[in-house]
Amino acid sequence: MESPNQSAAQEFIFSAFPYSWGSSVTCFIPLLFIYTFIVIGNLVIITVVQLNAPLHTSMYFFIGTLSFLEIWYTTATIPKMLASLLGEKTISLNGCLLQMYFFHSTGISEVCLLTAMAFDRYLAICSPLHYPTIMTPRLCAQLTLGCCVCGFITPLPEIAWISTLPFCGSNRLEHIFCDFLPVLRLACTDTQAIVMIRVVDTVHAVEIITAVMLIFMSYVGIVAVILRIRSAEGRRKAFSTCVSHITVFLLFFGSVALMYLRFSATYSLFWDTAIALAFAVLSPFFNPIIYSLRNKEMKEAIKKHLGQAKIFFHKTEDLK
């Protein structure tokens, strides 16, 4: 219950950001570079996949979709982080709810998509003869749509539930962006907040463990098939198509599990911030690198378009 002398909080203050100008600028510059790289890197991947007919396969369709989601996943939090570093460190209650919704909806969509990508690799390696007839463009589009629908519907009950809570007293949010647990800790109704924290923990655990188990089972089948390939070169080629996906999966799910599978465990503000940066900033930063530098076809396609761009600019200069 709200006491008479308490007023409902209409905005939150991010208390995890540095307050000194020097420290803020020191954090702002690398974060701006990372965000710019994420947006440009993923736009390059999307463009290259669209412009190259040899890349019009299910694997690259999913990679392009993942790149599209990554742009919006990071846009949900990083621009506000940048603004908070150099300006007001506040966010309205409605803005906070919207940030949580879009951050989690795009994040869950990515989790579902990574699971669909594991299923795609399983079919490609374990059923190569039936793969073209099973994994059709229609099925790819349906899987992608299903991932996005699942992602954008799943957080709605949690967001709607949190929006009904009264927030009074302290409005200092001990985090770098709005997330379920830091926001719930500021709710006035202690008993209801504790119940909600447990519910949110359980929902996240089910989402993460289900995705991990499905991906794990896919790779058990993949490894079993690869080990039956007689030639070392054949095993290497089969496994090379999965390396990028496995790397992204471990990088993203590792940090997400540390944050959302903690249950009753608590971390210091430093570790909370470090883990949040790992899955909200660093994982998306490495994804374009992993999918471009670790992928021969993607590297060749990017080199081809860079070469065409150089020829175009040289011709333009000659005409001048």
> How many C-beta atoms surround the C-beta of residue 274 within 10 A?
14
Per-residue model confidence (pLDDT) at position 264: 62
Which of 122, 147, 146, 150 lies closest to 59, judged by CA?
122
Residue 100 has pLDDT above 70, yes or no: yes
Render 148-174 in DSSP notation, one character per residue.
HHHHHHTTHHHHHHHHTS-BBS--EE-
Render 230-263 in DSSP notation, one character per residue.
-SHHHHHHHHHHHHHHHHHHHHHHHHHHHHHS-T
Per-residue pLDDT of 3-25, as tens digits, reads 444 446 688 999 999 989 999 99
User: Going edge to edge, which strands form the sheet with 11-14?
Assistant: 90-92, 11-14, 172-173
**Arithmetic mean of pLDDT, 273-284:** 92
Cα 32 → chain centroid = 18
Average pLDDT along the chain = 86
Comparison of pLDDT for 1 and 27, the residue scoring more: 27
Comparison of pLDDT for 112 and 264, the residue scoring more: 112
Residue 191's identity, in one-letter code, is T
